[in-house]
C-alpha cells in the first residue's frame, strides 16, 4: 500500500506488495517513477530537482508511461525520448524494459539558449542526472557525496578530522541543501548562504540545518564559538553569496574550506545575481533572459573572485560541480580554473577503481529492508572503512525520504556481491519485497564532463564522450532493466553526456543473472576507462580483479 | 579462400568457407573489417574514405581487434572506443558481438580544431559513416544514393527523365567518384570537375568516367553534343570548382542540375582552395592549418556564390551532404542556405516510410550469391519500381569491389522479409555462404544532422540527437551482431550523430530471430521518428504496418 506523503499529498509514496503491472520488473520501474515525484521539489510540474530536472516531458507523456509500464510484457521495451514515450517494441527477455535518451543535442547546437528554445517548443526536457532516469533518492545521495569530499579533504589537509574547522559554502536547494548536514556529520562548523529565505527555512524545518543566523556578524560569531569548542554545527544565512563572500574577505576571515552549490550552471533559472530581488529575477526569467544572463555572469565573477582570494589566503577551495568556474571565466575571470574541481582533487583515485555512488531502494516501502541490507553491508565489507563508517553515520543521521533507500561508495566486485546477496535475501523472504539498484551517473565509466567529471584526465581525453555511450550500449547488452543516456540541459547543455542504469533484484534466478552481468560489466567499464587513460590505480585494479581490459602491443 | 586484390595487393579480398573464428558471426565481422580495407582508398594507413575515415585507430588496435574476433566466444562482446579495442566483456548470446562508439565529443568541445588535437594525441579517430563500422561496400552505395536523387529530380522537374539534360558537379573522390556513373545511369550528360588529375585518371581507369576533357571549352562542347543527341555521357575535367563554376556562370551557360561533392566539410584535409597547387596544400596541412582553413572558406564562398547564381537562373541546385553551405555561410555568404539539402528536397518522403539504403554482402566472396539475391528481390517486390529498376541497372552497370554486395532502397517490412528469405537460402544451401546485412547511417531513424539529414524537420527537432542513441541502444537490445554510434570528425565535428548496425544471416534459426528483431525494430524506429515529428507519410505507414508508435492523449 502506498503511504501518505505530507509534503506532497497528491504524490503518495509507493509501497506494499500489490502488483499493478505484469511483473515485479515493470512494477519496480513504475514505483521508481512515482518515487522521484514523491520526493521531488515540484511534482505538480514534474520537476524533481536542479531547477529544470524533470521525470517526464509533460503530464500526457507521464500518463502514457504509467499506462505502458502497467500493461507491457517482459519481452517488450518501452522507448522514451526526452521524457516522452514514443514506442513499445518487441524485444526479448534479456533486453531492458525501458530505454531512454534525454536531452541529447548535436554538438554545435548544444547551447543553453537553443535548449530553452527546444524546451519551449515542447520537444525536449532535461533529466538532470537521476530525475529523468527515475533514480533520485532524495538528499541522501548528495549528502554522502559531499561528506566524502569533506573527509578526503580532512585526510589531505587536516590530519583526518574536521573538528574545529570552518566550512563556508552557499546554496540550500535540492542538492545544495545536503551541505549543512554533510558538514555537521563530518564534524565541522559549516556556514551556508542562500538568497531564498524559504529554502533556508525549509532546510531548518526538515532538520538539515541546525540554526539560522539573522546577519553575517552573528553567523560568524556562532561559527567562531563552535570552532573554538570543536563543536559540529550548521548555520544558515539569508544573503547573496556574491555579496557575502566578498564581505568575509574584507573582514580578513579565512575559512578552512570554501565551496559553493548555488545553481550557477543555469544563468536564467538557477543563479540569482546580486542586487536583484527574487521577484525581479522571476519576472526577468520570462521577460528578460538576456539581461538576466549578463547580470548572473557578472555576479558569479565577483563570487568567484572572492573564492580565489580565499584560496590565496590558504583556504581549501573547490568547485562542487555547478559549472561556476566556467561561468566566471566567461564573465572575465581568466584564472577561475585555479580552483580545482572536486573530482580531480579528491575522488579520482576512487573512481579509477570504479568505487562510486551505488544505491538501492526498498520497493516494499519498508525501512526494515534497508536496515537488514545495512547489516549485510557491514557483514560483507568489514574492512571497507569508507562504507562501514558511512552506513553507521547514515543510520543515525539520515531520515528516509520516499522509498527507503541507501547509498554507499562501493567498487568493482563489491557491488555485484552485495546485490547478489540482497537478491538472495529477497528469495529467502528475509526482506519484505524486491530491491532496485542503481548508481549515480557521476560514476567511473559513465560520464564525460570536461569541467566536472573528466577535467584534466591524465591522457587528455576529457571531452571524449565515447565512454558513456559505450556504457549505455553495454548495459543494454547485459540484461539491465532500465538504461538511459543523458546530456546536459539549461546551462549544462553541451557540457556533458552520461549514462544511467537500474537493475531490479526480485529474488529470482533471472535477477541474479541480470545483476551478475549488468553490475559487473558496469564497474568493469569504469576500471577500463581509467586504465585506458593511464591511471595506475585502475591498471592495478584491472589486474587484481581480472577485468578484461585489452592492452595493445607497443607499436 | 581470399582473392587477390590488384588495387591493394597487401589487402586480399576475403572469401571462401574456411572459418578462422569460433563461429560465422565472428568470422563475418572479421571479413567485413578486411573488406573495408580491401576496397579502401589508403588501406596502408587504415583509411577507407572521406579524407580521414578509418577502420581502426592504428595498426596495434587493428591487430588486437583481429586477434579478439578470432578467439572470442558467442557470448562475449568486444568493446571498441574510436577504433581501439578496450575490453572483451562477458555478455550473452543475444547481445552484440561488437559494440563501438566512435568520435563522440562533448558538445562544447566538438569542433574541427579540437578533433584534430585529439586525433594527433592518438585518442580518437573518425569512422565516417561506414568506415569505422566496417560497413563500406565501395562506390555502389553512394552510386545508388546519387542516382535516386537524380531520378527524384527527374520526376519533380523533367517529366521523369534526364535524357538531354546537363548536370554540373565536382569531386571525384571516394564518394564523389560515383557521380559520373550515377549521372550516366540516369540518362544525363554529366560534367564533373576535380582538382586532382590522379583522381580524374583513376575514375576513368575503373570505368566510372567515360572521357576526360582537356579544358572547359572542350568539356562544354562535348556536353552540348551529348545533350542535343539525348545521349548519356560522363565527362571529367581537371580544375578547381571555385574557378570553373564562376567561368560557366560568365559564359551564360545554365546547367539543368548543379551540385558538388568536393570534401568541403574538411577545410584542412579535404577542400583545395583555388589558386593553390596540390603540393602547396599538402604542405600547409601540417604547417599552416589556420591559413589553409581561411583560404578554403574564402574559396568555398566563391564556389557557392556561383551555385546560387545558377539557381537564380533556373538550375536545380542542391547540397549533396558535404556541408558546403555551412562553410560558405561562415565565409560570408549569408544566403547559402537558399540552396536546399538533398534529404529535405528529394528523399524525406521515403525516409518517413523508413525507406532507405539497405545493403547486403556475400561473405563467401561469390558473385553468384548476389545474383541469386537479386532474383529474390525481383520475385519478392515486383511492384516496387525504385528497387526493381535499380537492381536491373546495377546488374548491368556496377562492377563489384571487394566482397560482392548490393544496395537497395527498401523499407519497413521489406527489409525483414528479404533478410529472412536470404537466411533461408543460406540454410537450404542455395547460396555459397552466409550474408551480412547493414544499412547506411543516413537512414530514417539513425541520424541527427541538422545541416544534412534532419534539416528543417517539420516540428523543429533538427538538432535533437536522442534518436540515433535510441536506435543504437535498441539494436543492442534486439540481437544485432554489431552496433555503433558515430559522431562527426574533422569538419563534421559537432555536426552529427548517427547509429549503425550489422546483422549476419548464417542460415540458422537464431539468425532468423536476430533478423526479425533487429531489422524490424530498426525500421520501426525510423517510422516512429518521423511520425513523432508529424510527417503524414510516417503516421500512415505506422498504421498500415502496425508499428508500435505511442501517441499521447491530447493534453
Ligand atoms: N556534485 C555534483 O556534481 C553535483 C551534484 C548535484 C548538484 N550539483 C549542482 O549543484 C547546483 C545546485 O543544485 P540544486 O539541486 O541544489 O539546485 P537548486 O536550484 O535546487 O538550488 C539552488 C539554490 O541556490 C540559491 N541561490 C541561487 N543564486 C544564489 C546566490 N547568488 N547566492 C546565494 N544563493 C543563491 C537558490 O536560492 C537555491 O536555493 C547545481 O548547479 C547542480 O547542478 C552538482
Ligand atoms: N550524400 C551524403 O550525405 C554523402 C555521402 C558520402 C559523402 N559525402 C560527402 O561528400 C564529400 C566527398 O566525399 P569523398 O569521399 O568523395 O571525399 P574525398 O576526400 O575522397 O574526395 C574529395 C575530392 O574533391 C576534390 N577537391 C577538393 N577540393 C576541390 C576543389 N576546390 N575543386 C575541385 N575538386 C576539389 C579532391 O581532389 C578529391 O578528389 C565529403 O564531404 C563527404 O563527407 C556525402
DSSP string covering A479-526: T-SEEEEEE--GGGTTT-EEEEEEEEE-SSHHHHHHHHHHHHHHHHHH
Q: Which of A483, A516, A443 is nearest to B89 (CA)?
A: A516
* Confidence band for A235, pLDDT divided at 50, 70 and 90: very high
- Residues lining ligand 1, judged by CB closer than 6 Å? A 49-51, 142, 145, 170-176, 193-196, 199, 240-242, 261-265, 270-272, 320-322, 442, 452
The backbone torsions φ and ψ at residue B428, rounded to the nearest 5 degrees and listed phi first, read -80, 0
Quick check: A322 contacting B, CB < 8 Å?
no
Rounded Cα distance, B440 and B63, in Å: 26
Domains and CATH numbers, chain A: 25-92+107-120 (no CATH), 140-340 (3.40.50.10730), 347-545 (3.40.1770.10)
With beta carbons under 8 A apart, name residues in chain B contacting A479: 92
A14, HSE (Cβ side, Cα atoms, 13 Å): 24
Q: Which long-range contacts (CB under 8 A, 24 or more apart) does A244-251 make?
A: A244/A170, A244/A193, A244/A216, A245/A168, A245/A170, A245/A193, A245/A302, A245/A303, A245/A306, A245/A307, A245/A310, A246/A302, A246/A305, A246/A306, A247/A216, A248/A168, A248/A216, A248/A220, A248/A306, A248/A310, A249/A306, A249/A309, A249/A310, A251/A220
Q: Radius of gyration over alpha carbons of chain B, in Å?
A: 22
Quick check: B253 contacting A, CB < 8 Å?
no
Q: Given this model, what pLDDT does residue A554 score? A: 64
For ligand 1, mutation pick of A36, A142, A176 (most atoms within 8 Å of CB): A176
Q: Is A514 left (phi over 0), alpha (psi -120 to 50) or beta?
A: alpha
Rounded Cα distance, B244 and B260, in Å: 12
**Residue range A115-162, pLDDT digits in tens:** 999 999 999 999 999 999 999 998 888 899 999 999 999 999 999 999
Q: Which of A314, A428, A328, A317 is nearest to A369 (CA)?
A: A428
Cα(A330) to ligand 2 centroid in Å equals 37
The residue to which cell 562527426 is assigned: B488
Q: Given this model, what pLDDT does residue A473 score? A: 98
The residue to which cell 577503481 is assigned: A353
Is B272 within any annotated ligand binding site?
Answer: yes
Residue A70 CB coordination number (10 Å)? 14
Q: In chain A, what is the greatest distance between 2 CA atoms, to the nearest angstrom?
A: 66
- The angle formed by the CA atoms of residues A188, A189 and A195, to the nearest 5 degrees, is 125
8 Å CB contact between B78 and B65: yes
Rounded Cα distance, B550 and B5, in Å: 50
**Cβ distance of A465 and B92 shorter than 8 Å:** no
8 Å CB contact between B412 and B524: yes
Q: Given this model, what pLDDT does residue B206 score? A: 85
Collapse the DSSP code of B421 into the 3-class scheme (helix H, G, I; strand E, B; otherwise coil) and give the result: helix
Collapse the DSSP code of A85 into the 3-class scheme (helix H, G, I; strand E, B; otherwise coil) and give the result: strand
Find the ligand nearest to A260 CA: 1
**Residue range A244-283, pLDDT digits in tens:** 999 999 999 999 999 999 999 999 999 999 999 999 999 9
Q: ipTM beyond 0.90?
A: yes
Rounded Cα distance, A205 and A395, in Å: 20
From residue B149, alpha-carbon distances to A215, B49, B350 in Å are: 71, 21, 11
- Considering chain B, what percentage of its residues have pLDDT values greater than 70? 99
Q: Given this model, what pLDDT does residue A140 score? A: 87
Q: Is A120 buried (19+), middle (13-18) or exposed (0-12) by CB count in 10 A? A: exposed
Q: Given this model, what pLDDT does residue A170 score? A: 98
**Dihedral sign from CA coordinates of B47, B51, B53, B59:** positive
Rounded Cα distance, B392 and B413, in Å: 22
**Residue range A51-87, pLDDT digits in tens:** 789 999 999 999 999 999 999 999 999 999 999 999 9
With beta carbons under 8 A apart, name residues in chain A contacting B61: 552
- Render the burial of B107-137: b for 16+ CB within 10 Å, e for the rest: bbbbbbebbbebbeeebbbbbbbbbbbbbbb
Characterize the bridge pairing of strands A233-238 and A189-194. Answer: parallel
**Range 434-453 of A in CB contact (< 8 A) with B:** 448-450
Rounded Cα distance, B100 and B92, in Å: 17
Quick check: B554 contacting A, CB < 8 Å?
yes
8 Å CB contact between A20 and B516: no
Q: Radius of gyration over alpha carbons of chain A, in Å?
A: 22
Question: Which atom from ligand 1 is nearest to the alpha carbon of A324?
Answer: 41
Rounded Cα distance, B222 and B211, in Å: 10
**Dihedral sign from CA coordinates of B311, B317, B321, B324:** negative
Collapse the DSSP code of A238 into the 3-class scheme (helix H, G, I; strand E, B; otherwise coil) and give the result: strand
Q: Given this model, what pLDDT does residue B553 score? A: 77
Query: Average pLDDT for residues A358-371, to the nearest whole number?
Result: 98
Collapse the DSSP code of B98 into the 3-class scheme (helix H, G, I; strand E, B; otherwise coil) and give the result: strand
Q: Given this model, what pLDDT does residue A49 score? A: 80
**Residue range A384-414, pLDDT digits in tens:** 999 999 999 999 989 899 999 999 999 999 9
**Dihedral sign from CA coordinates of A249, A253, A258, A264:** negative
Quick check: A524 contacting B, CB < 8 Å?
yes
With beta carbons under 8 A apart, name residues in chain B contacting A465: 101, 104-106, 487
Quick check: A107 contacting B, CB < 8 Å?
yes
- The angle formed by the CA atoms of residues B464, B469 and B475, to the nearest 5 degrees, is 145
For ligand 1, mutation pick of A204, A236, A260, A263 (most atoms within 8 Å of CB): A263
Is B56 within any annotated ligand binding site?
Answer: no
- Render the burial of B515-552: b for 16+ CB within 10 Å, e for the rest: bbbbbbbbbbbbbbbbbbbebebbbebbeebebbbbeb
**Residue range B46-101, pLDDT digits in tens:** 999 867 899 999 999 999 999 999 999 999 999 999 999 999 999 999 999 999 99
Q: Which of B189, B272, B207, B264 is nearest to B238 (CA)?
A: B272
Collapse the DSSP code of B212 into the 3-class scheme (helix H, G, I; strand E, B; otherwise coil) and give the result: strand
Q: Given this model, what pLDDT does residue A50 score? A: 66
Rounded Cα distance, B461 and B400, in Å: 39
From residue A537, alpha-carbon distances to A348, A416, A526, B79, B451 in Å are: 10, 20, 12, 21, 43
Helices (H), A336-413: 342, 348-351, 367-380, 385-397
Query: Average pLDDT for residues A332-348, to the nearest whole number?
Result: 96
- Would you give the end-to-end CA distance of chain A in angstroms? 62
Distance of CA A63 to the CA centre of its chain: 26
Positions in chain B short of pLDDT 50: 555
Query: Average pLDDT for residues A529-552, to the nearest whole number?
Result: 96
Query: Which cell numbers in the block locate residue A187?
Result: 564534524
Rounded Cα distance, A503 and A127, in Å: 19
Q: Which of B307, B195, B296 is nearest to B246 (CA)?
A: B307
Residue A521 CB coordination number (10 Å)? 30
With beta carbons under 8 A apart, name residues in chain B contacting A86: 528, 532, 549-550
With beta carbons under 8 A apart, name residues in chain A contacting B85: 550, 552
- Considering chain A, what percentage of its residues have pLDDT values greater than 70? 99
Amino acid at each position: 500500500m502506498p503511504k501518505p506523503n505530507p509534503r506532497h499529498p497528491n504524490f503518495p509514496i509507493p509501497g506494499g506488495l500489490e502488483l499493478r503491472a505484469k511483473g515485479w520488473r515493470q512494477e519496480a520501474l513504475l514505483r521508481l517513477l512515482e518515487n522521484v515525484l514523491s520526493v521531488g521539489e515540484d511534482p505538480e510540474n514534474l520537476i524533481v530537482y536542479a531547477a529544470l530536472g524533470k521525470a517526464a516531458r509533460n503530464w500526457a507523456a507521464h500518463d502514457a508511461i504509467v499506462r505502458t509500464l502497467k500493461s507491457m510484457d517482459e519481452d517488450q521495451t518501452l522507448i522514451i525520448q526526452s521524457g516522452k514515450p514514443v514506442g513499445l517494441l518487441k524485444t526479448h527477455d534479456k533486453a531492458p524494459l525501458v530505454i531512454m535518451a534525454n536531452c541529447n543535442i548535436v554538438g554545435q547546437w548544444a547551447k543553453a539558449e537553443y535548449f530553452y528554445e527546444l524546451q519551449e517548443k515542447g520537444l525536449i526536457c532535461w533529466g538532470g542526472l537521476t530525475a529523468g532516469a527515475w533514480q533520485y533518492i532524495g538528499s541522501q545521495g548528495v549528502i554522502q557525496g559531499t561528506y566524502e569530499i569533506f573527509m578526503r579533504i580532512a585526510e589531505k589537509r587536516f590530519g583526518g578530522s574536521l573538528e574545529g574547522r570552518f566550512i563556508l559554502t552557499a546554496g540550500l536547494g535540492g542538492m545544495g541543501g545536503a551541505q549543512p548536514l554533510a558538514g555537521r556529520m563530518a564534524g565541522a562548523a559549516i556556514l551556508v548562504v542562500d538568497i531564498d529565505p524559504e529554502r533556508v527555512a525549509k532546510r531548518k524545518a526538515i532538520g538539515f540545518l541546525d540554526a539560522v543566523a539573522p546577519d553575517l556578524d552573528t553567523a560568524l560569531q556562532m561559527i567562531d564559538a563552535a570552532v573554538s569548542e570543536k563543536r559540529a554545527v550548521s548555520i544558515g544565512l539569508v544573503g547573496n553569496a556574491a555579496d557575502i563572500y566578498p564581505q568575509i574577505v574584507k573582514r580578513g576571515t579565512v575559512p578552512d574550506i570554501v565551496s559553493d552549490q548555488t545553481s550557477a550552471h543555469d544563468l536564467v533559472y538557477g543563479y540569482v545575481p546580486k542586487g536583484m530581488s527574487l521577484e525581479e529575477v522571476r519576472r526577468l526569467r520570462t521577460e528578460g533572459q538576456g539581461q538576466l544572463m549578463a547580470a548572473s555572469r557578472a555576479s558569479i565573477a565577483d563570487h568567484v573572485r572572492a573564492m580565489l582570494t580565499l584560496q590565496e589566503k590558504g583556504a581549501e577551495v573547490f568547485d562542487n560541480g555547478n559549472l561556476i568556474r566556467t561561468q566566471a571565466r566567461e564573465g572575465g575571470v581568466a584564472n577561475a580554473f585555479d580552483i580545482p574541481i572536486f573530482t580531480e582533487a579528491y575522488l579520482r583515485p576512487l573512481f579509477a577503481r570504479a568505487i562510486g555512488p551505488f544505491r538501492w531502494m526498498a520497493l516494499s516501502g519498508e525501512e526494515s529492508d534497508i536496515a537488514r541490507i545495512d547489516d549485510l553491508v557491514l557483514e560483507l565489507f568489514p574492512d571497507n572503512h569508507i562504507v562501514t563508517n558511512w552506513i553507521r553515520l547514515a543510520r543515525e543521521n539520515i531520515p528516509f525520504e520516499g522509498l527507503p533507500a541507501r547509498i554507499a561508495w562501493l567498487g568493482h566486485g563489491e557491488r555485484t556481491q552485495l546485490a547478489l546477496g540482497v537478491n538472495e535475501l529477497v528469495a529467502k523472504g528475509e526482506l519484505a519485497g524486491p530491491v532496485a539498484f542503481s548508481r549515480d551517473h557521476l560514476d567511473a565509466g559513465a560520464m564525460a564532463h570536461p569541467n566536472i567529471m573528466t577535467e584534466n584526465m591524465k591522457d587528455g581525453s576529457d571531452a571524449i564522450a565515447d565512454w558513456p555511450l559505450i556504457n549505455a550500449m553495454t548495459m543494454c547488452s547485459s540484461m539491465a532493466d532500465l538504461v538511459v543516456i543523458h546530456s546536459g540541459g539549461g546551462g549544462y547543455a553541451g557540457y556533458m553526456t552520461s549514462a544511467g542504469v537500474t537493475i531490479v533484484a526480485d529474488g529470482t534466478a533471472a535477477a541474479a543473472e541480470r545483476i551478475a552481468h549488468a553490475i559487473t560489466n558496469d564497474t568493469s567499464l569504469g576500471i577500463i576507462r581509467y586504465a585506458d587513460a593511464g591511471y595506475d590505480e585502475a591498471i592495478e585494479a584491472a589486474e587484481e580483479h581480472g577485468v578484461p581490459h585489452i592492452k595493445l602491443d607497443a607499436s
